[in-house]
């Protein structure tokens, strides 16, 4: 097959195909005597899989998975994909919690936080686990002045109140939609004025994107299954 034929099918440029080849995402491409690349049915399936997985999982994952597929390390590749699906599920749970938090008049009474009621404060590790975010992100938000945790008098460690955790949930959800910390600051000011409309809209938008990503992930997995079947046929 010619590269331009595959490119037209996938609605991408031939240079994109060459990039995927240079990145080691497809098996070695032979060349004809005139120097033109010779693409096989298997190469086409690889390119289709790359495009489909990218839509649902992102190119960083594709760059990890496709070399494993080429080297027949199928199970390693599948577990990476499975982990990404689990991550998406927990992302959905965290955003749903944010919506509930915004609707809750008293965050301390929010159902999912009752397990912490016996404590006076929370550690950064507990906050990170509850909000499904890295401790380094929480520290960065503190540096940017978005949250203001107190320090434990004896240990000097950061300690977080229920309201701090509420802000962390809101920050992580909003930033995944708009990225700009300036807009995050505006949203936090709105919330302080009891105006949560825009924040809820962003949270719902985030949930809609997660639903979209889920569908694209399933399509990507279907494309991978097609590739594996073609590889199996070629080996017979």
pLDDT single digits (tens) 13-27 = 999 999 999 999 999
Closest CA to 171 of 188, 159, 189: 188
At 197, the pLDDT band (50, 70, 90 cuts) reads: confident
CA distance 71 to 66: 9
The stretch 180-202 carries a mean pLDDT of: 85
Instruction: Output the pLDDT for position 130.
Output: 85
At 111, the pLDDT band (50, 70, 90 cuts) reads: very low
Percent of the chain with pLDDT over 70: 93
Domain regions of the chain by residue span = 3-73+219-235, 86-211
CA distance 223 to 50: 9
**86-211: CATH, from 1.10.1040.10, 1.20.120.1770, 3.40.50.1820, 1.10.1660.10:** 1.10.1660.10
pLDDT digits (tens, 9 = 90+) for 122-142: 889 989 988 889 999 999 999
**3-73+219-235: CATH, from 1.10.645.10, 2.102.10.10, 1.10.1660.10, 1.10.3720.10:** 1.10.1660.10
19-49: buried (b, 16+ CB within 10 Å) or exposed (e) per residue?
ebbeeebbbeeeeeeeeebebeeebbbbbbb
pLDDT value at 236 more than 60: yes
Residue 38 β-bridge partners: 30
Could you list the beta-strand ranges (E) of the chain.
30-31, 37-38, 150-151, 158-159
Closest CA to 220 of 231, 232, 212, 230: 212
At 234, the pLDDT band (50, 70, 90 cuts) reads: confident
Could you list the beta-strand ranges (E) of 132-191.
150-151, 158-159
CA distance 66 to 60: 11
CB 132 within 8 A of CB 210: no
Instruction: Output the pLDDT for position 117.
Output: 53
The length of the chain is 236
Q: pTM for the full model?
A: 0.79
Say if 3-73+219-235 and 86-211 have the same CATH topology. Answer: yes
Closest CA to 173 of 86, 97, 89: 97
At 108, the pLDDT band (50, 70, 90 cuts) reads: very low
pLDDT digits (tens, 9 = 90+) for 34-92: 888 888 999 999 999 999 999 999 999 999 999 999 999 999 999 999 999 999 999 99
């Amino acid at each position: 097959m010619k590269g331009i034929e595959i490119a037209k099918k996938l609605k991408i440029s031939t240079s994109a195909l060459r990039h995927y080849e240079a990145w080691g995402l497809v098996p070695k491409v032979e060349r004809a005597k005139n120097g033109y690349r010779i693409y096989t049915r298997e190469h086409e399936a690889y390119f289709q899989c790359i495009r489909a997985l990218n839509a649902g999982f992102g190119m960083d994952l594709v760059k990890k998975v496709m070399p494993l597929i080429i080297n027949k390390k199928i199970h390693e590749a599948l577990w990476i994909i499975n982990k990404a699906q689990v991550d998406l599920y927990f992302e959905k749970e965290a955003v749903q919690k944010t919506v509930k938090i915004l609707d809750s008049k008293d965050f301390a009474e929010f159902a999912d936080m009752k397990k912490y009621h016996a404590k006076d404060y929370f550690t950064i590790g507990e906050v990170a686990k509850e909000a499904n975010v890295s401790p380094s992100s929480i520290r960065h938000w503190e540096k940017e002045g978005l949250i203001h945790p107190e320090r434990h008098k004896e240990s000097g460690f950061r300690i977080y109140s229920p309201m701090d955790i509420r802000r962390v949930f809101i920050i992580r959800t909003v930033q995944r939609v708009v990225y700009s910390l300036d807009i995050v600051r505006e949203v936090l000011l709105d919330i302080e004025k009891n105006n949560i409309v825009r924040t809820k809209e962003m949270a719902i938008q985030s949930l809609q994107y997660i639903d979209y990503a889920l569908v694209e992930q399933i399509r990507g997995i279907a494309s991978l299954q097609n590739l594996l079947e073609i590889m199996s046929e070629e080996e017979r």
